[in-house]
Amino acid sequence: MNGKIGVDGGISTTPAGPHFLPPGDRNVTTPVGHTAYLHCRVAHLPDMAKVSWIRKRDLHVMSSGMVVFASDQRFQVLHSDKSENWTLQIKYSQLRDAGVYECQVNTEPKMYMSFQLNVVESMARLSGPEYVMAGSTINLTCTLSHHTQGLIHWYQGSEMLDYEGRVSISTRDEGDGMRSELVILEAAPHHSGNYTC
């Protein structure tokens, strides 16, 4: 890294040639079925240089520039003209997608940065009373770990519950998961059954 004198007399340590910018999170966790994003940021990329994504477990070249070599169409590279971002997008991520991916630039010497992708299964836990008296309130809580996007639907048997009348559903993000609460006021016999979220 070369230091050069700035206009104000201070030392600037910004490299003049191609270099990686801070990528944010290099250890990415996503639930099964969700879209994963690995963000590689390269500044001052020469015209002839290419950014590639490599899957380390089998050394498979996933992409070079905007050309994707993966036969699996879930993999795409997101990049716009003059942008420093070269994002590997994996749609509908599966457990088998987990592992180390490397962002490479074909300079001399070669530059590379590794990213760890973790794909986890969402786990749901349902809590609440097993029995309630007619006319009282049913209050059930569904906690999903490793689930950070999308809606949570509640079912009574095979019927999806509507958010209306005596039924209210509130859902909130809890960092690495989600929590949803189902409240049914003035429970009647037809509210008996199996509830799932």
Structure tokens at 51: 């950014």
Segment 89-108 mean pLDDT: 93
Segment 46-64 mean pLDDT: 92
Q: pLDDT at residue 2 above 60?
A: no
DSSP 22: P
Superfamily designation of domain 19-120: Immunoglobulins (2.60.40.10)
CATH class of 123-196: mainly beta
Segment 158-178 mean pLDDT: 79
pLDDT tier at 190 (50, 70, 90 boundaries)? confident
pLDDT tier at 146 (50, 70, 90 boundaries)? low
pTM given for the model: 0.64
Helix, coil or strand: residue 155: strand
Question: At CA 81, angle to CA 79 and CA 84, rounded to 5?
Answer: 60
Q: Where are the domains of the chain?
A: 19-120, 123-196
Given this chain, do its domains 19-120 and 123-196 carry the same CATH topology? yes
